[in-house]
Structure formats: C-alpha cells, structure tokens
Chain A
Amino acid sequence: MELKKFVKIREEKFGAVIFDTLREKVFVTNETGKDILNLLKDGKQIEEIIDILKEKYEKNGDEIRIDVNKFISQLKENGIIT
C-alpha cells in the first residue's frame, strides 16, 4: 500500500490533514489516523501497524484491527492510497 502521487500529509494539533493535490480534495483525521498514515508511509503492513498501535494505545487487538481496517478501506475508497 502506498500513498498516491501528489497526496500530501501534514501533522496538525488535531491529527493530520490529507491533501490530494491532484484532485484538489482535502480530508482531516485524528491522532490515530495520523499514526496509521505515518506507518503506511514507512512501508509497514497492516499486521505490523496493528501491533504497533496495540502497544501505543494499550487497547485490545480486535478493536484496533477493526479501526485500522475501516480506516484503510476509507483511504482506498477516497483514492488516497493504492
């Protein structure tokens, strides 16, 4: 999974802003969304992302898994990642 070309991400105090500058569309997300995007940018796979977030947020794995999968499918639906 990779960020589409010309998609830019900037950290903000609420999380992150995602700007698809090619299609001129802006999205925002919270802290966890920001973490997932950063991990995706580092080339991490879904399972690794889930493990890292489980530890960071001390949440149970199933909850995190649902959240991460949902977020990633939203990113795909909105053409932010391929």
Chain B
Amino acid sequence: MTRSTLILVGALAALASAAVAADRRAIISAYGDPAGFSAARGKAFFEARHTGGKPETPSCTTCHTANPRAEGRTRAGKPIAPMAVSANPERFTDPAKVEKWFRRNCNSVLGRECTAKEKGDVLTYLSSL
C-alpha cells in the first residue's frame, strides 16, 4: 500500500467512528439536553435494586453485571457483549434497538417504562466509562 492509500484508509476509519459517535450523540439528545444528564445518576440507577418489576430481574446488573466493561449473561446463560462504549464501540448506535431494549428491560426490572431522563442518564454513564 502506498502512503497516500494508508492515509486514506485511516481517514475513512476515523470518519466511520466519528459517524458512529454522532449517531450515539443524536440518540442521547433525543432524550433531552445532554447537559442535563448525569453519569453518576445513571450509575446509581443502573446498579440499584428496583421493585415493581419481575422478581427474576431486580436490577440492570442482574444481566449486565456491575462492571459494564465486562461481558454479561442472560438468565438463559447466553453471553451479553459489554455495555460500556469504551469496551464495545457499537453500543447505542441504532435508535430502534436502544428503544426496544429500554422498553423491555425497564418493564422487566421496574414494571414500567423508563423516563427520558433515566434513559439519558444511563446512556451518559455507559458512554463515560
């Protein structure tokens, strides 16, 4: 490969990851002003034991573990890729996927939908690690 193709390849890779990061920012902004979200609040919410949901799943950490950089595990034993963006750059880049899992998992854990603020906080936390 010539030097200029290498530069081109590098530039394309940088563009692709910039595009992914922009997608993620857009997803977070859709839940509200990013300045209003807090990684600390997101962490507390993610690690808390909630009531109101299904008894099998009291917490987000039941499946994702308290270390989002590590692999999690479903109740049926299947591995779940890490939730932290630093460990898994593909996280939170498809808005339909993010919404589908918030709907299901918040309902399983809390017995209700998560609020826009809770979602923004959690995504801010998982993007900050």
A and B together in one complex: no
